[in-house]
Structure formats: C-alpha cells, structure tokens
Amino acid sequence: MPFAAARGVGALTGRKGRQAGLWRQGSCQDAIHLRGLEFFAYHGVLAEEKALGQRFIIDLDLFLSLARAGVSDCVEDTVNYAEVYAAVRDCVLNKPANLLEHLAEQIASAVLEGFDCQAVRVEVHKPQAPIPAVFADVSVEIWRERE
C-alpha cells in the first residue's frame, strides 16, 4: 500500500504515484530534510491572528536523487538549502493565508516550481493555535509531486 494512502492523505496516482509509495520504504528516492524553520507571521481565520501574528514552524522533505551530488561534491548537483529556505520564507512571510492547508500548498508549489525535486512533503506547525485547550502543537502535513 502506498505510504500516502496508509497515512490517510490523498493517494498519489499514476506512475509517479506508485513510486511515491516507495519513498518511505527506502527503495526509490533520496531526500533532503529541513526541520524547524521558524517564522513569526500573520496567518489564520481570526482577526486577532491576522493582527497580532504568531509563530509557525515548517518541516520539509524534498525527494530527489542525491547520487550525482554524492559523487561530485558540487552544490550545483543538488538543491541549495539556503535557496529552499528563502522560498519558504517568502511564502510564510509574504502570502497571508486563512488556513494552514493553504499555506502548505503555497510552500509545496513554490518548492516544486523552483527546485529540481520530484516530490515534497510539507508540514506546517501552529503551536499557539487559538484552541481553548491544553495541547503541544497543531499541524497540517501534505505530500505533493511534480506533475
């Protein structure tokens, strides 16, 4: 069963979709992970969230072959982490969204359009979400692939 389907998210379809199920099984793709990218931004449904802002934390996985870079030791043969960070920062700071789902889509689109990777996993954390309860974190996770 593909990983996406097993996780309860929309199953990826087609030839690439079948490969998507292999990413987490370790037989198909390499990955670059960026964890804990933290920003203060103004996303949310409530007017207070848009006015006061809050902390957002982004985790990314970029799926691509790292074989060439592993042999050449040249940054030109991989994805530049600093450039990925800048693209994420632009989305989080300059493209206000009501929903975490929309922000995650914006980030996924920017990464797939701007970098040579086959797929991306984006997780957007909102640790201070306005929920009247005690909780550690709220997050949204999406998986998208190049069409």
What confidence score (pLDDT) does residue 147 get?
81
- Active-site residue set: 126
Q: Which positions of the chain have pLDDT values less than 50?
A: 1-20, 22-23, 25-27
Per residue in 32-58, pLDDT (tens digit) is 999 999 999 999 999 999 999 999 999
Given this model, what pLDDT does residue 21 score?
A: 52
In SS3 terms, the chain reads as: CCHHHHCCCCCCCHHHHHHHHHHCCCCCCEEEEEEEEEEEECCCCCHHHHHHCEEEEEEEEEEECCHHHHHHCCHHHCCCHHHHHHHHHHHHHHCCCCCHHHHHHHHHHHHHHHCCCCEEEEEEECCCCCCCCCCCCCEEEEEEECC
The pLDDT, as a whole number, for residue 17 is: 42
Domains delineated in the chain: 29-145 (3.30.1130.10)
